Structure 1
Amino acid sequence: MVELLFDDIFKIERLNPDGKKFDKVTRIEAKSEKFDMFMHLDINTEIYNLKEGEKFSMALAPTLNLDGTPDTGYFLQGNRKSLADRYEYVMHGKLFRISESSGHGGKAEIDASFGGLLMMLKGDPSHCSKFELDQRLFLLIRKV
């Protein structure tokens, strides 16, 4: 069974908080329900559209293989089931920064790039403990 690195339901609070920069990309600002995490996420709106106030499930996984075996980097067509079958929008990328603010109530922040589409996830450090620098990730989304 594949182990998810992170899984929560987010509610979109704002779209393009810094203004629209690209025609086919929207930056969403969202807050998670279970872990109280804050996220900025760029999505390709030509493929998948989200609206302010909508809720979606977002998971981060190291592989799409249901048995948890590492991803080979090659897409094999066929009848093989994968974690992607359970979601509507999937991106593959790399975690490029992990930072943690010091002091009481400090926050951890992870940053990943999915072919230039960026994600920033910030919150309690205990929810970021499974992540490693330069880790390859799959981001999976479905509306709820």
Structure 2
Amino acid sequence: MADPLLFEDTFTITSINAQKYDRVSRLTCESSDSSITFTLDVNSELYPCVAGESISMALASTLSLDGKEDTRASWREVSMGDQTLADDYDYVCHGKVYRFEEGSAKDTMAVFVSFGGLLLYLEGAYKKLAPLKIDHVYLLLKK
């Protein structure tokens, strides 16, 4: 089967804005080589973060380790003892990729994803982000 990971990188949290909503923080992050940036809304009660902290982010097409495509409800029906990608991460969301744009620099693109109202804006090299041209993704974060 195919590799379930569409994108994976390590980022540093450059700023956190927690002023607009209760229990939601907007993280602004930059990759270690500064080629990719993202802004992400997270539930700050479930996943508290601090500016300057390093986090690993992955986007996957499925939580299945073998890359087997999820059926509509299968991600909710994981049996006790079943291994999934989520086991290796601290914060997991399922969302819809809803828009693509040209990036602010040459050969870059921007990807917009909604996780039930919590938003992700990811911008970087077209080569790295092109695999995200699918309908639904899983966001996986760990410190």
Q: TM-score, normalised by structure 1?
A: 0.89
Secondary structure in structure 1 of the residue aligned to 2:46: coil
Residues 48-105 of structure 1 deviation map (CA, whole Å, 9 limit, x = unaligned): 1111000000000000000100111321232211000010100000100011148x72
| Structure 1 residue 34, shift from structure 2 partner | 4.6
2:80 matches 1:78 = yes
Residue 108 of structure 2 corresponds to which residue in structure 1? 107
- How many residue pairs are counted as aligned between the two chains? 139
**Distance in 2, Cα, partners of 1:14 & 1:34:** 17
**Distance in 2, Cα, partners of 1:89 & 1:121:** 17
Name structure 1 gaps, 5 residues minimum.
none
* CA 14–130 in structure 1, closer or farther in 2 if over 3 Å, else same: same
Identity of aligned residues (%): 39
Structure with the higher strand share, 1 or 2 = 2
Residue 133 of structure 2 corresponds to which residue in structure 1? 132
Letter in 1 for 2:133: E
Residue 16 of structure 2 corresponds to which residue in structure 1? 15
The Cα RMSD (Å) is 1.7
Name structure 2 gaps, 5 residues minimum.
none
Secondary structure in structure 2 of the residue aligned to 1:129: helix
Structure with the higher helix share, 1 or 2 = 2
Q: TM-score, normalised by structure 2?
A: 0.90
**Distance in 2, Cα, partners of 1:101 & 1:136:** 21
Residue 93 of structure 1 corresponds to which residue in structure 2? 95
Secondary structure in structure 2 of the residue aligned to 1:21: strand
